[in-house]
């Protein structure tokens, strides 16, 4: 089954746009959430003796950085194109091994047809 190259390009661009959109949404949510945590700790005085909001913001920032790396770094180097190339390489390697084994077996005459003995009833 062959697919239209323009459709593949469109689908790839659409997936990429969705990834970026989710990352930007995560960033905006991070900013709003960070402000909320600061307000919650400093102005509402929820456990105000501790600056717990700093740890929460740093933890969330860590996950935001992982999300950023996933979208802009990992997908660039290990995206669907890379997966396709690696899969094709493995298939070619596997096919080469099968061809080599088949030639070896043919060389040893394993594929010769043997006429069964009609008087042999051991298969019954």
Number of domains in the chain: 1
Residue owning tokens 């770094």: 73
Say what the pLDDT of residue 58 is. Answer: 95
Tokens standing for 111? Answer: 């594929």
Q: Where are the beta strands (DSSP E) in the chain?
A: none
Tell whether 26 is covered by a domain: yes
**Enclosing domain of residue 74:** 5-80
Q: What is the pLDDT of residues 92-102, one digit of tens each?
A: 988 988 888 88
Tell whether 110 is covered by a domain: no
Tell whether 10 is covered by a domain: yes
* pLDDT average, residue stretch 11-36: 92
Tell whether 17 is covered by a domain: yes
Model confidence at 74, pLDDT cuts 50, 70, 90, reads: confident
Distance between CA atoms of 52 and 77, rounded to whole angstroms? 37
């Amino acid at each position: 089954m062959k697919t239209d190259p323009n459709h593949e390009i469109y689908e790839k661009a659409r997936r990429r746009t969705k990834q970026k959109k989710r990352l930007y949404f995560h960033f905006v949510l991070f900013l709003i959430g960070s402000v909320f945590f600061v307000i919650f700790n400093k102005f509402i005085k929820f456990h105000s003796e501790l600056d717990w909001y700093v740890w929460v913001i740093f933890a969330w920032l860590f996950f935001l950085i992982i999300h950023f790396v996933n979208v802009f770094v990992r997908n660039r180097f290990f995206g669907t194109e890379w997966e396709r190339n690696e899969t094709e390489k493995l298939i070619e390697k596997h096919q080469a091994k099968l061809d080599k084994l088949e030639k070896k077996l043919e060389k040893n005459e394993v594929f010769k047809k043997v006429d069964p003995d009609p008087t042999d009833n051991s298969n019954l």
